[in-house]
Structures are given as C-alpha cells and as structure tokens.
Amino acid sequence: MYQMFLGGALRVKAAALAGGAWSKQWRRWAPVAVLVGLCIIIGLFNPNFFGGANFVRMLNTAAIPLVICMGVTFVILMGSIDLSAEGVIAICAVAASMLVANDFTGIAIGLFSVPAAILIGSLVGLLNGFIHVKFRIPSFMTTLGMGFAGIGLATAILGGVMVRISDSSFRDYLSLGRVFDIPAAVYIAGVAVIVAYVIQERTRIGRWVYAIGTDEATARNAGIPVDRTRIIVFGIAGAFYGLAGALSAAQIGRGHALISQDRLFTAITAIVVGGTALSGGVGSVLNSVIGVFIVIVLTNGMVLMGIEPYVQKGVQGLLIIAAVALALDRSRLDVVK
C-alpha cells in the first residue's frame, strides 16, 4: 500500500513539474507567437501591411520606443518602476535642441549635443536613484515627482515656447538620413539594444539586477551592493532617456516640454506585453524588443484598418491587462497587491 501511495505521489509530482516547465516555456515564447499571429491577421485584412514602405515606417516608429524601453526594462527587472521617463526625455530634448544651431540660443556644438544629452539624462537618473535609496521613498513616487519636475523645468527654461533646430546635419545623422533606405534612428536604436543586451548579459550589474528583482533579501545576504546597484541602474536608465531625447528632437526638428507625451505609456505597455514581469526578476531587453514590435504592429494594423485613435488607446489598455494575466507567475506571489 505504501509503495502504491509513494508511486502515485511521485507521478503527481512529475506531472506538476512537467506542467510548470510547460508554463515557463509558454511564458517565454508567447510574445513571439503573439507578434507572428498579429502580423498574419493584419496582413490578411490589409496586404499593404507587408509592403516594404510600411515595414520601414514601422521600424522608424519603433526606434525611439526601443531606446526608452531599454532603460525602463532594467528598472522593472530590478523590481522597481520608473515614471520619470517623459520628464527626463523632455529636459534632454530641450538641452540637445539648445546646444545645436537653433533660433533660441547662440550655441552650436553639433553632434556633441548627443553625449551632452546622454550625460544630463544619466545625472537625472542617478538623482532619481539616490533619492529613492537614501530617503527610502518608493520608486514610483520618486520618479513620478521627478517626471513632473522635468516637464516643469523644461517649460520654465523655454518659457512655454519651442526651440526650432536649424542644424540639418544633426537631424540627418540622428533621424532623417537613410542608409539602404533605413532611417538613421533605426540604426541608433539597434546599437542601443546591443549595448543594453551586453550590460544585461556580460556585466555584474546585469546579474545583480536579476538577483535583486528575484529576492532582494537574498541578494543582500549574498553580498550584492543592493543600494549602489539601484542608483547605478537608474543612472543607466537615464542615459537611455537622454539618447531618446536627442532622437526625439532630431526627429521633429524642435524641442519642447511635451515632446515625449504618451511615450511612457507605450514603453510600459511594450515591456509588459513582451513578458517582463512587473514584480521583477523575469524578462530581458530582448523581451522588450518583441513587446515594442507587438505594440507598433498592432497600432500600425489598426491605422491601416481605419480604427479611431481613441479606440487604439483602449485596445492598448486591454492588451496590458491580458498580457499581465497570461504572463504573471502566480506561484511567486503570496498576495495580489
């Protein structure tokens, strides 16, 4: 009798392990399946979706969200949240616009404005992390306040007006110029993804981010400098926002305080849809790349099918809920907060 009971228990345990493995595989590949399925469905409704011009258009549309997502992903993997992206991008876009030939200042340092914007973004990010860690303020409150402060500062600097960029080379090298008919911003976004992937896979910071996101207490006990890592990760995120700010200014040819409006919503939607867990420790920058293209493909498809913009926002909201419901590993949660 005991052997029969033991054998039955072992079979149940084996089935549970197999089910858990299958569930993990599903969460891993579900975003790719969704992306492929979306492309097929939209292509059936409108064959123009698969046209070369539309493909290039989607790549160009995805460029800036990709750069933003690279920064936000690291923060979310760590189990925190960063709501300051729009404010930091606004500051960096205004700074980049004022450092190239423009109608607002007499400064014109050309492409050197790009590293300047990245530096400004990283400094704001480090400040975000410092306030969050040293004053023990929840990350969402710290970054929300910093985001509003950034937009307010950008508005105050410009007095409510826009900076118009007259440096054509700045716009060509960052956005309008094309190589093999692909806009320059796409190549820059590709480099940003590679840099983010290297940080994630080849540096201690990348490994520590996962450890902190999985179990912060265990990470501390293992000797990982949790507080310092948090500050550095917010600084890395800010650097990506700085690059996104320069790209945004180059893309539209001007800088203003609301240049990044709705960018954060798109970024978080893409990250969650891509399979990165808001609880931390699960996901990757490559997941975020897939998520960005899911959002871009869906939006592009709805435009091709003539769906109204306000309906598109509603669909994106439902997409977030569906993605969290399908991808969340409930076994790691003791309570739903």
**pLDDT at res. 34:** 86
Q: What is the pTM of this model?
A: 0.89
Q: Domain containing 240 — which CATH number?
A: 1.10.3470
Q: Count how many residues are written for the chain.
A: 337
In a domain, 18, yes or no: no
Helix (H), strand (E), coil (C) string for the chain: CHHHHHHHHHHHHHHHHHHHHHHHHHHHHHHHHHHHHHHHHHHHHCHHHHCHHHHHHHHHHHHHHHHHHHHHHHHHHCCCCCCCHHHHHHHHHHHHHHHCCECCCCCCCHHHHHHHHHHHHHHHHHHHHHHHHHCCCCHHHHHHHHHHHHHHHHHHHHCCCCEEECCHHHHHHHHHCEECCEEHHHHHHHHHHHHHHHHHHHCHHHHHHHHHHHCHHHHHHCCCCHHHHHHHHHHHHHHHHHHHHHHHHHHHCEECCCCCCCHHHHHHHHHHHCCCCCCCCCCCHHHHHHHHHHHHHHHHHHHHCCCCHHHHHHHHHHHHHHHHHHHCCHHHCCCCC
In a domain, 57, yes or no: yes
Number of domains in the chain: 1
In a domain, 150, yes or no: yes
In a domain, 337, yes or no: no
Domain with 162 in it: 31-329
In a domain, 12, yes or no: no
Q: Contact 128/238 with Cβ under 8 angstroms?
A: yes
In a domain, 11, yes or no: no
Mean pLDDT of residues grouped by 10 in the chain (337 residues)?
A: 43 44 63 90 90 94 97 96 96 96 91 97 97 95 96 92 93 93 96 98 96 94 96 98 97 93 88 88 94 92 84 79 64 45
**pLDDT at res. 27:** 64
In a domain, 22, yes or no: no
In a domain, 3, yes or no: no
